[in-house]
Amino acid sequence: MGNDDILSLQRVWAAIRRGQRFIVVSVAAFLGAAMLYVSLATPQYTAMTSILLDPMQAKTVAELSSKAQRGFENAAIVSQVEIIKSRHVAERALQYLYSEEERSAVSGDFAKKERLLAQLRRNLRVYREGESYVLNIRYTTSDPQIAASRANAFAQAYIYEQIHSFSEDSEKTSQWLKMKIEELRQQSIHANIAIQKFRVQNNLVSAGGRSVTEQQLFNINSKLGDAKAATASAYVKYEHSREIIGRNDVSAAVAEAFDNDVINNIRQQYISDQQRLLKLTRTLGREHEAVKGLKTEIEEAQNVIFSEMKRIAQSYKNKYEVALAKETSLEQSLGKLIDLKVRNDGQIFELEALEKEADVYKQLYNDYLAKFEKINQQASFPIAESRVITKAMAPLGKSHPKSFLILVMSLILGGGFGVFLALLSDSFDKSFKRAGQVESAAGLFFLGFFPAMAASTFRKNSDLSLFSDVEYAHSVLSPLSLQAESCRNIKTTLDKKSDAGQCQIIGVISDTLNTGKSVTASNLALFIAQSKKKCLLIDADLRNPVLSKSNFSLSKGLAFALSDKKLGKDVLHHDPKTNLYVLPADKNSKALASSVHADSMKALLESCKDSFDYIIIDLSPLSATSDASGLSALIDHFLLVLEWGKSKPNSLNFHLKQSGISKDKVLGVILAQANMKQMVQKYDHHIYSEYTTI
């Protein structure tokens, strides 16, 4: 903490000390109001019921009933608080608090029922206990028994509504599921019927997992393969037979005739004839008639074989043509089936869409049926997710008003408000009270205090012949007084700023009336005179000559001297003890005040300079006349006297500016009529008794 902070705290503390009266009055007012409130307020009693939102119980219910667990997160717990405070729960609580007759009396009157519910909910407070799962239901009323019964009623109503809401939700859900299940069942039936109709209309009847078209296509495709094989075989046999016949190759014809009985018989005969021909040829020779006849038989056998081969070739041709026709027919049928299959494939997509739609309806039907079974299970578990852990009892002590707390708070608030008023008053109080304030706010040098003197001290002065009141000569009568110390400070400052051996003219001025200006002037003049200096005190406040009225008989004085333009012994008053000379005002002062000019005063002062070391002039206030402004050219220094606690910087600066008096010409400031007791107690002003007395 820096020095500036310490000074700020000290200033605040000093301001609080100065405003003690505000603090005392504020504390007294707040404390009185608190005591009055405590005595007149109706005692209120608060009963509390605690409810536990049990997540484990909720989990158990969910496991037993297959019910979705709600859980208790922060938002859910806040929602439960609002449910307890809801109108619906309040209506249920009415059923526990009032009899059937009492409820029927208000049921027909809506406005009366609303007022009753509003009153019932107004004194209800529900809040969460820290970060726990506990909700506290607090009810406040003037009767402790009623408070307990209503707190318990709200807890009971909340638990009932919780169970009832589960049952009601289950019932509504069950009814809705019944309707939905029936709707889905009808939709599933209609979807299956549409599938069957579509199959029949588009010849998409299936057997063994395949459609009829697919089966026909498979069969025809198999038959077409067999037909192609048969056609190829017949064609090969036919072409081979034609080739043999065309070459007249009996051996090839014999090979082709293995499977023919006629040719086999002829072949056996042919082989036998060949063997005989060889024997006969060896035996008889080629020209023998038997050999020739046998050759003729052999040739006839060859002719028979070839004839039979032609017949066989023709049969092969017929078989080939039949096989070819069958193949062509099967290919045509296959093409038609392929076209039909292509058309069926497009229809199959539509069929699959219908089947998927039917499957969706079937799946939804099964899902809703399972949910319906779960809802029926939930209805058989009427268990709430919360329970009462602390039942409200009739409170023994009142909850409101809290007398001790209210009194303590009234003291704190009263003290705080008093401190605020003290600081506010101190901030608005711009009057001069402290030395530093004079220098910071007015820019003038502070010379000292002139304490205010009690009326009991205004006694006749017997030590001095000039001044009848002690107040005007206190600096001489009490050398250790603050007045004397301030006069000593004035003279020291004056001597520092003045040339030795020259007469110094000091004008004593003030900003307003009744500041103690004349008292300051007389004390200063006496103090200077007592220091073996010739001093002249002139009362130039002609319109209000307080100094002269309080101490001299108004005969001849300043007005006469101004008219005569010189000082005579008949207008001067002399104190032999201090060697002070006084030129008071006289009875003609008011009449001649308007005729006092700077020239007349200059002539008078010039005549006095050679006779006196100091001339002190008690001038009229700056706010009253312009005398100080008119005589400023004749005066070496001004001594400004301000009234402690009343003179303010703004007013002072305004009057100085209006008068044309430069602050450089102002010797310094005296705070007159100062309350030194307050300065010591409230402004931390130190007075050392060893050196100074008040």
Q: What is the pLDDT of residues 642-686, one digit of tens each?
A: 999 888 888 888 888 888 888 889 999 999 998 888 777 777 677
Contact call for residues 566 and 607 (beta carbons, < 8 A): yes
Q: What is the pLDDT of residues 390-419, one digit of tens each?
A: 998 998 888 888 888 999 999 999 999 988
Q: Is 86 left (phi over 0), alpha (psi -120 to 50) or beta?
A: beta
Q: What is the pLDDT of residues 73-125, one digit of tens each?
A: 778 888 888 988 888 888 888 888 888 777 777 777 788 888 888 888 889 99
Q: What is the pLDDT of residues 296-338, one digit of tens each?
A: 777 777 777 777 777 777 887 888 888 888 878 877 877 777 7
Neighbours of 685 (CB within 10 A): 16
How far, in Å, CA of 175 to CA of 240, rounded?
Answer: 87
The percent of residues in the chain predicted with pLDDT above 90, rounded, is: 18
Contact call for residues 310 and 245 (beta carbons, < 8 A): yes
What is the structure's pLDDT at 252?
53
Half-sphere CA count of 109, side-chain side, radius 13 A = 11
- At residue 621, the 3 state secondary structure works out as coil
What is the structure's pLDDT at 463?
59
What is the structure's pLDDT at 63?
47
Dmax over Cα atoms in the chain, in whole Å? 229
Quick one: fold of 3-173? Bacterial polysaccharide co-polymerase-like (3.30.1890)
How far, in Å, CA of 109 to CA of 106, rounded?
Answer: 5
Q: Residue 258's pLDDT band (boundaries 50, 70, 90)?
A: very low
Neighbours of 289 (CB within 10 A): 8
Q: What is the pLDDT of residues 584-615, one digit of tens each?
A: 887 665 545 544 577 888 888 888 888 899 99
Strand partners, 669: 446, 640
Q: What is the pLDDT of residues 417-444, one digit of tens each?
A: 988 888 887 777 788 888 888 888 888 9
Q: What is the mean pLDDT of residues 330-349?
A: 71
What is the structure's pLDDT at 32?
93
What is the structure's pLDDT at 56?
59
CATH number of 447-682: 3.40.50.300
What is the structure's pLDDT at 7?
47
**602 or 245: whose pLDDT is higher?**
602
Cα angle 410-411-416, degrees, rounded to a multiple of 5: 95
What is the structure's pLDDT at 642?
93
Domain ranges in the chain? 3-173, 210-379, 447-682
How far, in Å, CA of 256 to CA of 529, rounded?
Answer: 184
Please state, rounded to an integer, the average pLDDT across all residues of the chain: 80
What is the structure's pLDDT at 254?
47
Q: What is the mean pLDDT of residues 336-365?
A: 75
